[in-house]
Structure formats: structure tokens, C-alpha cells
Amino acid sequence: MPLPTIPYRPPRLPEDEMRRRGGDFLAEMDRRRSVRMFSTDPVPRDLVELAVRTASTAPSGAHMQPWTFVISGKPEVKRRIRLAAEEEERINYQGGRLPAHWRAALEPLGTDWHKPYLETVPWIVVLFEQRYRVGADGVRRHHYYVKESVGIAAGLFLAAIHHMGLATLTHTPSPMAFLTGLLRRPENERPMCLFPIGYPAADCMVPDLARKPLSEVMVEV
């Protein structure tokens, strides 16, 4: 049975107003940076909820919304995540699991296996993708375009966090399967990305990187 339909009538704006809004939004998003130096200042839980609700407005295959945001501000949970992530990353960086080309690509960013911020940030949010769902009847139902849907939700989450004046990082400890057990997630879920959430530290520094110009990211045919 198709869903009932409702009117969708967003206001039609004058072009100069559209241009102003688009430019303002670009300028704001262009100020976003991935942060690895966080303040320990507390962040109210409702701000994290707002970002999750914003992320959850993402379009998704057949509107299945195949994502779960697991949030924690508990010191013991954050500590266990830090220890497990650092163990994996130590094998990556020091144990030779990262191939030479990957280490070379990361060199300008100056990352290493130490992830102290995972323990000191007020919140950690782990985004899980639901590969399928299990109905109340115990029957498996398909999810569609899961990676694309969850990727879009992750982007909206980043934008929402930044828009509120908070900072985060798309951290993908590799492999990240330890998060499924540590956070007691069901078999249908796989961790996709971990976001430490907080304010940037007062002495926060970020790499002085440049974004590709339009001419390198857009072609007209």
C-alpha cells in the first residue's frame, strides 16, 4: 500500500537570496576541520541528540534508515574504546599492517597510533550500519544501498556538529570490529565510523591543508 502523499511547497526564493545562502553555507562548511585535540569541557547530551536527529533526516534506500548511532559519555566505555582502538592502530603503524603507500599518504597529516582524545572527549558516537533488519516475527528484511545511506547520514552528522560550534573527527580505527562486541551491538550491525565529539582544545592545531579547487572536482559535459 503506497503511503498517503502530502503537499511539499518550500518557498521559492529570489536568486540573489539563494546565492547569499549558498555562499554563507559554503563559507561555514569550509571552516570545518577534523579535530584531534579536544577540550575536556562537557557538552550537553541534547546537543548530541540534535546532531543524531539531523543525521537521521538523510535519504536512505527504500527509506529503511539503516543506521544506529551509539553514544556514550561514560568514562569506562571511552577508556575501553581508547585502549582497543590504540591496540589496533599500534599494529597498523608500528606492526607494519599499514602498507608503505598508506603510511606515506598519512605522513602529511601527522597521525600516529596514540588516540588519547578517545578517553578525554565528553562524548563518543559510533555510527553502525544495519546490513539487514530482523522483524518482530524474526524474519530478515533487506536493507538497500546501506553504505551510501549511512555515508550520507555521516555527512549530515558532521555538518550538524560543526553548525553547533562543536568539533569531531571521522575516526575509523582499523579493523573496527571490536566496537560491535564492546558496545554489545547485534549481529546485523557493523561499525562504520567513530566520532569523538567535543570543543576543540584551546591550543588545538590542525594541518594547514588546502581543498581542491572547483576545477579539479567538477566537470561539465
Of residues 60, 84, 89, 161, which one binds ligand IYR by CB under 6 A?
89
Beta strands per DSSP E along the chain: 67-72, 123-130, 132-134, 140-142, 189-197
**Tally of CB atoms within 10 A around 78:** 20
Region of residue 136 (left: phi > 0; alpha: psi -120 to 50; beta: else): alpha
- Is residue 206 a contact point for ligand IYR (CB under 6 A)? no
- Is residue 97 a contact point for ligand IYR (CB under 6 A)? no
- Is residue 111 a contact point for ligand IYR (CB under 6 A)? yes
Of residues 54, 72, 120, 174, which one binds ligand IYR by CB under 6 A?
174
Of residues 99, 172, 175, 186, which one binds ligand IYR by CB under 6 A?
172
In the chain the first and final C-alpha atoms are separated, in Å, by 40
What are the two backbone dihedrals, phi and then psi, of residue 29, each rounded to the nearest 5 degrees?
-70, -30
CB of 191 to ligand IYR, least distance (A): 12
Secondary structure of 9-41 as H, E, C letters: CCCCCCHHHHHHHHHHHHHHHHCCCCCCCECCC
CB of 118 to ligand IYR, least distance (A): 10
- Residue span 43-82 as binding mask against ligand IYR, x where in contact by CB under 6 A, dash where not: ----------------------------------------
Binding residues for ligand IYR, rule: CB under 6 A, are 89, 106, 109, 111, 171-174
